[in-house]
Amino acid sequence: MFGKLVKYELRSSGRTLLPIWCAVLVLSAANAVLFSRPSFFESGSRIAMLLTSILPLVLFALWVAMGVLTLIFVIQRFYSGLLKSEGYLMFTLPVRVSSLIGSRLLTATIMELAGSLVGILGIMILLIGQNGINLTVNLGDLLRAIKLEPQAARWGIAALVELVVLGLLSVIEGNLRIYMSIALGHLSRRRRGVLAVGAFIGLCIIISVLNVWAASFSMQILPLSWIDWLTNASWANYALPSLALGLLILRALVLCAVWWLGTQRILTRRLNLE
């Protein structure tokens, strides 16, 4: 049943986002072809001036629209799909509340990652069309650098993997924070949208305050000798970025768990579809 829920959500989102993804890629290719021919837009013709003025603006507008529509999709599929009239149907299905939340979370994350990939591909298409952007990597030089600094290479690879994991967890945590805010706003009978926005702002403020407090508290409890050892050790330059990313991953996991459990509890025990 979980797979069917995800399939339903993907179909619903694909009908909205797929056309704009295709438009971004097509316009990126058109801009790349246009600006790879300097003789065309330097000719001074009206058509050339019009195209060089309009196409980049349209592409930028599509990028903005893609981000806005993705955010709207994340909010709309959770709110309308679970807390509005569609929720009556969803909560009669023989599935757990965690499956209903998880299907929307997985779909939203896939759509956001796909949108990011489309944006990156669009930028790469533009860069390739500029003639002079070298996107190739000399593998021989890379292997020689790894042999010269094996310790730095190991920590660098670890940091790169952690950075990818942190990016994925940040997307998931952001979605769950939105879900938690909507669920908190839905506890009221009136002005639920306004309260959801207020809850989101409040959660962001609380997290910011806790981050500052945790950083200050950790500096106070750690002995100065430990701090000197961490910063002056031979491996510190390589390991500290990886260790910092590990702490950020742990923080993201904790926040994901808090938002997930809070949203699940509200939808299980305090659900009100009236």
pLDDT tens-digit profile of 93-105? Answer: 777 888 888 888 9
Place of tokens 């998931």: 172
pLDDT at residue number 170: 92
Cα distance between residue 54 and residue 43, in whole Å: 17
| pLDDT higher than 70, residue 126 | yes
pLDDT category at 205 given cuts 50, 70, 90 is very high
Whether the CA torsion 19, 60, 111, 178 is positive or negative: it is negative
pLDDT category at 132 given cuts 50, 70, 90 is very low
Q: Is 149 left (phi over 0), alpha (psi -120 to 50) or beta?
A: beta
pTM over 0.85: no
H/E stretch holding 146 reads helix 139-148
List the structure tokens of 224: 């100065």
* 17-31 confidence digits (pLDDT tens): 888 889 888 888 888
* 35-62 confidence digits (pLDDT tens): 776 665 565 666 767 777 787 888 888 8
Cα-flanking dihedrals φ and ψ of residue 272, to 5°?
Answer: -140, 105
pLDDT category at 78 given cuts 50, 70, 90 is confident
Residues of the chain with pLDDT > 70, as a percent, come to 72
pLDDT at residue number 88: 66
191-222 in b/e form (b: 16+ CB < 10 A) is ebeebbeebbeebeeeeeeeeeeeeeeeeeee
